[in-house]
Structure 1
């Protein structure tokens, strides 16, 4: 168009100059001056046209963008929380009877102990005295029972020979029955007294480590946080889940546990999910068992990722590629039309978000070229040049 303008204006100028040459009014110098003036007017017109007619300018340069070819990759959402390692079995050792004075301590903090191992010896003087008294009473009753049985045997033999009365025999039989009953009670008393003696020897209820030993000889052992045994071979992860996830976390949910201080990540399954919501924290309790390992310790910090949603065949895109206009959410894609690569908007329906990836429920399909870099300020049908990831 600009060339046509130039040719038209020059033609007018030449015609005007030719017409002027046929008159006698102008000299050759005047005609040249007139032509130079016309050339300046043409240049000014060209400048004005270039400013207002953008189509007459240079051809549009394509914008460089980076694309990612879409394919199903699956999507998994996790709840990120903090938990800790705990022992499944923790024993706070207590006396089986009344508190007693400590005569000997056989364990110290950090010792590995086995089930049944002796931890403390309490004062057993009174218990042993009671045992001896019970055993003496049992012995006396046994002697009286033996005598009563012998009397009953003899009276019965005499009665069989017609000597004596049946009333005497029945009385002797009653005495035997009474002593036998007393003997059973005495035997129970001996067992109880023996247990009281046994209880003065404090033993571990499980295999584990003596996590707390806060008792010394001469002190009274009452069991108030004085000895604690922790089983380090049977461990679990515990954490609190916000109540808004109550319907999404349950027994069987998959868990990824990271122990940051030793840089270890393990997979686990929720084995217990509480049904009670804590009134203060508005959360509920879960636990997941983990395997035994020498590097795992009770109360160790754990980063817990609980899987609460999974879509195996889902499409995902980087979160920052999803934009919003008056019609809703969209992403920019690169398409080829008439042998040119141009930008197009694709309206999308989004799903769950985790990390820097967001699930696309609809609007995209396999093979779409999603613009993941350079999408800012793109407009519909803008010419592109692409760099594939």
Structure 2
């Protein structure tokens, strides 16, 4: 008995001395510290096993000690199958599916007036700005003057033709003269049609100085100014951007190693932390290519229009990439590890007493603080969920209900 106790103390002393010796070494790199930590954990696990074995031997040899052993107080949770879901959690952002830049229908021109400002609600067809139309107006006026001159010539030609026709009906004059007068009328009529077409074209060009919105939405940004040349291109000059917040989406970049797990139609849970709002959606679009810099692919999910979200808000995107209808799920904190692998402690009835028993398990996916157990636990098992840190395999335990 004394030899066993002495051996136990020697092992404990050696472990403490070894750990103290390690701390006297220089700090080293992060990898060195991690290696030291893993070594200490392994040493502790081996020491715990030896202590447990010695305690069992002592209990067998010293019946009085076993009789005096007090059970440890623990809490138990019965194991039951349940649905398990794993979510891939990423950060995305709210984006707008409908973004338009106002552009002139004709050639670029100098801005004469701007009729909207940032934040204004506008409708499709509403006048946004006006370009300088002085040259176009002069062209319209000049062409219209030609119409007046040709109309006067046409009226005179028609009058001459009517008179010549009356004379011809009275067998006075020549047929050649009549045909010449008729041709002159037809020529002037064609000329008038051409000029009227030119007037319409000039008027259309003049109307292009009025720039209208082609969508419904809100004026998101105005960088154009009166006096500047306006073409609507945000890359080359001032612009007016219109967004429609009734048509929003959430975009997220997914790492390429999840390409086989996330598909169009995958369910997502989305949170907008800044405004404390959340909603459910599905993946509506997945890009075909992997980004050269991001090493990921883009996915989109539609956002509802009744949450008053704004483009570029941060979104926490949780994509459902794994689900099991019925399996064993435990809190990850109850999972322990030794050199043999992962295990938990369960309660078992033996000889009328409640004892703790080590149960090796095979784990699956981890979701938050819940982990899937694929093998090692069955429904009905009593998992020790409180007090498991300070007990060992075979130790007497008790609960508040005992």
Q: What TM-score does the superposition give when structure 1 sets the normalisation length?
A: 0.72
- Map Cα deviations across residues 56-91 of structure 1 (whole Å, 9 max, x no partner): 335122122211111122111111111111111011
Return closer, same or farther for 1:94/1:387 CA change in 2, 3 Å cut-off.
Answer: farther
**Cα distance, 1:87–1:135 mapped onto 2, change above 3 Å:** farther
Task: Determine the C-alpha separation between the residues in 2 that align with 1:128 and 1:251.
Answer: 54
Matches within 5 A, 1:117-196: 117-132=126-141, 191-196=200-205
Distance, in Å, in 1 between the alignment partners of 2:258 and 2:189 is: 67
Q: Does 1:55 align with 2:66?
A: no
Superposition deviation, residue 251 in structure 1: 1.4
Structure 1 contact 104–122 (Cα < 8 Å) conserved: yes
Tell me which of 302, 316, 320 is aligned to 1:289: 302
- Structure 1: unaligned runs, 5 residues or longer: 1-49, 152-170
Displacement of 1:126 in angstroms is: 2.0
The 8 Å contact of residues 230 and 238 in structure 2, kept in 1 or not, is answered as: no
State the 1:293 CA deviation: 2.9
Counterpart position of 2:38: none
Counterpart-to-counterpart distance in 2, 1:244 and 1:74: 25
- CA-to-partner distance for each residue in 1:144-181, whole Å, 9 max, x for gaps? 99999999xxxxxxxxxxxxxxxxxxx99999999999
Counterpart CA distance in 2 for 1:294 and 1:276 is 31
Alpha-carbon shift at residue 141 of structure 1 (Å): 8.8
CA RMSD of aligned residues (A): 3.9
Could you say which residue in structure 1 is the equivalent of 2:12? none
How far is the alpha carbon of 1:325 from its aligned partner? Answer: 3.8
Q: Which moved more, 1:191-200 or 1:141-150?
A: 141-150
- Measured in 2, the distance between the counterparts of 1:96 and 1:141 equals 32
Structure 1 residues 1-389: aligned runs within 5 Å: 53-57=61-65, 59=67, 60-132=69-141, 191-223=200-232, 224-293=237-306, 295-387=308-400
1:361 to 1:150, Cα distance in 2 relative to 1, 3 A: farther
Greater radius of gyration (CA)? 1
Distance verdict in 2 for CA 1:142–1:300, change over 3 Å? farther
Mark the runs of 5 or more structure 2 residues left unpaired by the alignment. 1-57, 161-179
Query: Could you tell me how far apart the structure 2 residues matched to 1:211 and 1:317 are?
Result: 49
Residues 67, 387 of structure 1: 8 Å contact kept: no
* SS of structure 1 residue aligned to 2:81: coil
SS in 2 for 1:74: strand
Report how many residues are paired: 339
Deviation per residue, 1:231-272 (Å, 9 max, x gap):
111111111111111111121111111111111111111111
Shift of 1:197: 2.2
Residues of 2 paired with 1:210 and 1:120: CA distance? Answer: 13
* Contact map agreement 1:92 1:225 (CA 8 A) in 2: no
Structure 2 CA distance for aligned equivalents of residues 180 and 347 of structure 1: 102
Q: Deviations over 1:99-118 (max 9, x none)?
A: 21111111111111111111
Distance 1:52 1:204, change over 3 A: closer
Residue 244 to residue 51, structure 1, CA distance change in 2 (3 Å)? closer
Distance 1:141 1:232, change over 3 A: farther
| TM-aligned CA deviation for residue 52 of structure 1 | 11
Equivalent position of 1:22 in the other structure: none
Q: 1:376 to 1:196 in 2, by over 3 A?
A: same
Match of 1:268, SS?
A: strand
Structure-2 separation of matches of 1:343 and 1:112 = 69
Q: Kindly indicate whether the alpha-carbon contact (under 8 Å) linking 2:59 and 2:66 is maintained by their aligned counterparts in 1.
A: no
- With over 3 angstroms needed to count, the CA separation of the structure-2 counterparts of 1:313 and 1:175, relative to structure 1, is farther
Distance 1:376 1:54 in 2: 26
Higher alpha-carbon deviation: 235-244 or 336-345 = 336-345
